[in-house]
Structure formats: C-alpha cells, structure tokens
Structure 1
Amino acid sequence: MKHYAIIVAGGSGKRMQSNVCKQFLILNHLPILMHTINAFYHTIYKPEIILVLGVDSQGYWADLCKEYNFEVPHQIISGGEQRFHSVRNGLLAIKDEGIVAIHDAVRPLVSKQLIERMYEQAAENGNAVPYVKTSDSLRQIYNNTSKIVNREQYVMIQTPQTFITDQLRKAYQQNYKQMFTDDASVVENAGFRINLVEGERNNLKITYPEDLRIASFLLEN
C-alpha cells in the first residue's frame, strides 16, 4: 500500500509579528518547513510528499531549497482559498489508493514514532487523528458571560490526521463549510467515525514568537 503526506503550508506571519510566512522562519539553522518535511521523509514508510504552497511563496521556497541544499523529493501543488481547498488540491494529485497523512507545515517537532503510529492506525481503522488532553481549566463563553466546563470531556486535536484515500476522496467532494476547521471535521461530516489516537505534547504548532523559542529548546534537548 502506498503512503502519502500532504504538508499544508499556507500560513502567514501575522501572529508571529513577521513579514516572512511562519513556515519559512529559521528554527535551529533550518527553515521550519524543512524540519517538517524531513520528519516524514525519515520514517520507515518514506511517503510521497506533496507540499501545498501558495503561488506567491513558491519562488521563495525554491530559493530556500537552493540556499540550504534541500533535496528531499517533494511535489509542489498550489494552495486554495481556505485550508479545505488546499487539502483538496493536494488530494487531487494522488492517483493511486493508499494512506494519506495531512500535516501542518508549522508542526516541525512531530516525531517519527507518531507519524508511523498514525499510518498504522489508519490502515487498521480507516483513519487516525492525534489528540492530547488539556491540563488547563476550560470555560465556555456566551452572552457576555462564561461557565466552567468539564475538561475531561474535551481534547486538543493535532496533526498528522491520517486517512485511507477512499474516505478522503468521498469527504472532499463536499462543498466547503465554515465548520470545516480540520480534516477530521470534513471526514466526520461525510459520515465516517473518527478514530482518536494519543498524540504528543511536543508536537506543538508554531503560531506565536514564544512557540519558536520553545521549539528551539526542544530540538536542542
């Protein structure tokens, strides 16, 4: 069975307070996106890597690949208006049956073990979506007030979210809805049950400047 990885790299640098898209920021001497692609390339599955990138960023990425002698094989597909459309564009590049992991470009600390576990669980159950429990108290905000909720009933969802191609193709035939915040929500809305698998706390999504500092520390240690 073939294995694929769709790396979604459409983020901007607004919340990072940077003019450079956050996936291109340097993390321990290498652009974040290169760390992310390397993580998948160095698994036992050696997936075919599909990088979904905005048209305006493709030239800059090509320059970075030359500058850093980055030669990991990957196919570049142009992104869409929303993450939903970007993933669909990436999926259209996959012609064969197999298992597809969809991952945020700005989660560079994803481990080899987690990636391989997601592929294995998806092969067994049709899909695999990683999660971590929250250690913080949660409150629900409504009508200018709030109330405490039971944090044991909530989890935080990560990527790589991994699916057999049949599920993804059926799910992404739907029209875009605002409720589609990740791939699991798209697949679930198509009628499939989502299989949650424990993720990793170090698999953080780099969104704010302090995230970059934390990621640097984790890589060094």
Structure 2
Amino acid sequence: MKLAVIIPAAGSSTRFDGGDKLAADLGGRPLLLRTVEVFTRREEVEQIIVAGPPDGLEAFKDRYGAGLGFHGVTLVEGGRVDRWETVRNALAAVSDDCTHIAVHDAARPLVSDQMLDRIFMAAEKLDAVIPALAMSSTLKELDPESSTDAGEGEDLVVDTILGGAGRMDVPATPVLGTVDRKRYAMAQTPQVFFKSILLAAYQSVELDGATDDAQVVERSGGIVHVVEGDSTNIKITTKDDLQLAKALLGLVDSRRPKDPLFG
C-alpha cells in the first residue's frame, strides 16, 4: 500500500466559540500539526495533502507553513462551502505513485496506531474501509416536520397547568419509533479507499449533500466496509471537546512508539 492522506482544513470553526480550533494548543503543538503527525509515523504513507481555506490561504501558510513544510506536506486550496469541494480539490494533487487514498478530519488528532493497523490491513483487500463505533444508546426515529414549541400554539392542557405567562419556550420533536441500534454505527475517519474507486466516485455522482467520502462511494454503487473505531478518536468541535482531548492525549500517546523527534 502506498497511501496519500488528504486532510481537509478549510472549515470556519464556527462552533468553536471564537478562534481557529486547528491552532489550539494540544500538548504543546497546534491541533492541526498533531493530526498531521499521526500519519508521518506510518510507513504506508507516501504523501500528506492539507487543503486550507481559499480566502485565507496566505494567513494559513503563515501560521502552519513551517510545521507542514517540515513534514513534507503538500498544501492546496480547499473549497468555499462544502467539505466535498475541499476533498475534490485535494484529489487533483494526489501522486500517481499512490495506490490508496485516506481522507481524515483535521480535527481528529487522537488516532491510535492500533486503529490505523485495523483500517490499513482491511484496506489492502477491500475497496473502501471506514472506522466506526457501535451505538450503545437507544435510538429514536424523529419526525422533524412535526416539531413543536411548547411556548406556541393552543395547548390548553399546558395553559391550564402553567398558565400562559409561565410557559417555557422549549422546542419538542415527536418520536416516530425506536430503531434497532445494531444496524447503525457512528462513522469516524480516516476513511481509506483504493485510489481508482474514490476518484471514479467523485467524477460520476452527485456530490451535494454528501457529508463524508464513504457516502460518495456509496452513491456510486461501491461497497463500504466498517472496522472497529476507537472511542478516543474524537472530533474536536467545541472547546469542551478540546478539554477532553487534552485529558485523552496522554492515553493515546502512551500507546504509540516513541518518536525520536518529539519524544
């Protein structure tokens, strides 16, 4: 396997409550570089491509360029709206020598080598492989079209109990039923594909609405297989996630062979 790793990093961090989450300190280094370093340790990886924001690419280079350059990362311009646009731009930079492509969320810096071993071993034989976690909670199917607000409408029972002035505006959504959680899993990244499979999928299907690359392959008729993910492989979206990542960092690092450059 000769692997090209694409890391989409063109997002706006809108849910991070101010600031660039990829620049957040995680164990003494920016979160983005932590994510990149996950793959610099792997002998399967031939190329790492980071796709940055198109409207702030120069500032992105100023902030991360030295660290990315040290690791030999290829930096390209990402998309403006959707994640798939960013991945599509990065696909054009994949080396001809690579046999496989992995796409990995920039905000998932805590990938364990054990999980990578599982994914890469399966990807040697299967067209498309993603890590995922089994669902442990009971899952309810909702009816979003019938959502209500307890502070609106003519709910006489609530009016009687609470009185109009005392009611709370609490959105509520009806439950349609309970689904079999064994049929569902929470997808993670990195998602790994034979290069020809992913390239063909991006060229042949409608991309609007696709939320991950496995979905693009699914739309093309491809079969995606799941291997066991890792509960520490969290995606950092909020500052609370960052605090959890800091707590988990020591656990994840303790599983890895020591890197002579970083200890």
TM-score normalized by the length of structure 1? 0.91
Of 110-119 and 203-212, more deviation after overlay is shown by 110-119
Shift of 1:56: 3.1
What is the identity, as a one-letter code, of the residue corresponding to 1:14? T
What is the identity, as a one-letter code, of the residue corresponding to 1:152? K
Query: In structure 2, how many angstroms separate the alpha carbons of the residues matched to 1:13 and 1:94?
Result: 26
Q: Could you tell me whether the CA contact under 8 Å between 1:43 and 1:116 is conserved in 2?
A: no
Q: Could you tell me whether the CA contact under 8 Å between 1:41 and 1:47 is conserved in 2?
A: no
Residue 76 of structure 2 is matched in structure 1 by 77
Unmatched segments (≥5 aa) in structure 1: none
Cα RMSD between the aligned structures?
1.9
Of 46-55 and 111-120, more deviation after overlay is shown by 111-120
What is the identity, as a one-letter code, of the residue corresponding to 2:16? M
What is the identity, as a one-letter code, of the residue corresponding to 2:109? P
Residue 247 of structure 2 is matched in structure 1 by 217
2:28 aligned with 1:21, yes or no?
A: no
Q: Could you tell me whether the CA contact under 8 Å between 1:99 and 1:119 is conserved in 2?
A: no
| Of 216, 235, 257, the match for 1:205 | 235
Residue 31 of structure 1 is matched in structure 2 by 30
TM-score normalized by the length of structure 2? 0.78
How many aligned positions are there?
A: 220
Of 176-185 and 207-216, more deviation after overlay is shown by 176-185
Q: Secondary structure at the match of 1:125?
A: coil
Query: In structure 1, how many angstroms separate the alpha carbons of the residues matched to 2:142 and 2:84?
Result: 27
Shift of 1:124: 0.7
2:197 aligned with 1:167, yes or no?
A: yes
Q: Could you tell me whether the CA contact under 8 Å between 2:8 and 2:50 is conserved in 1?
A: yes
The structure with more radius of gyration = 2
Q: Using a 3 Å threshold, how does the CA distance of structure 1 residues 194 and 67 change in structure 2: closer, same or farther?
A: closer
Residue 9 of structure 2 is matched in structure 1 by 9
Query: In structure 1, how many angstroms separate the alpha carbons of the residues matched to 2:11 and 2:25?
Result: 15
Q: Percent identity?
A: 34
Residue 116 of structure 2 is matched in structure 1 by 115
Query: In structure 1, how many angstroms separate the alpha carbons of the residues matched to 2:68 and 2:210?
Result: 36
Aligned pairs (5 A) from 1:53-202: 53-65=52-64, 71-80=70-79, 81-96=81-96, 97-142=98-143, 143-144=146-147, 145-146=174-175, 147-202=177-232
Query: In structure 2, how many angstroms separate the alpha carbons of the residues matched to 1:66 and 1:169?
Result: 27
Shift of 1:154: 1.1
Query: In structure 2, how many angstroms separate the alpha carbons of the residues matched to 1:69 and 1:101?
Result: 18
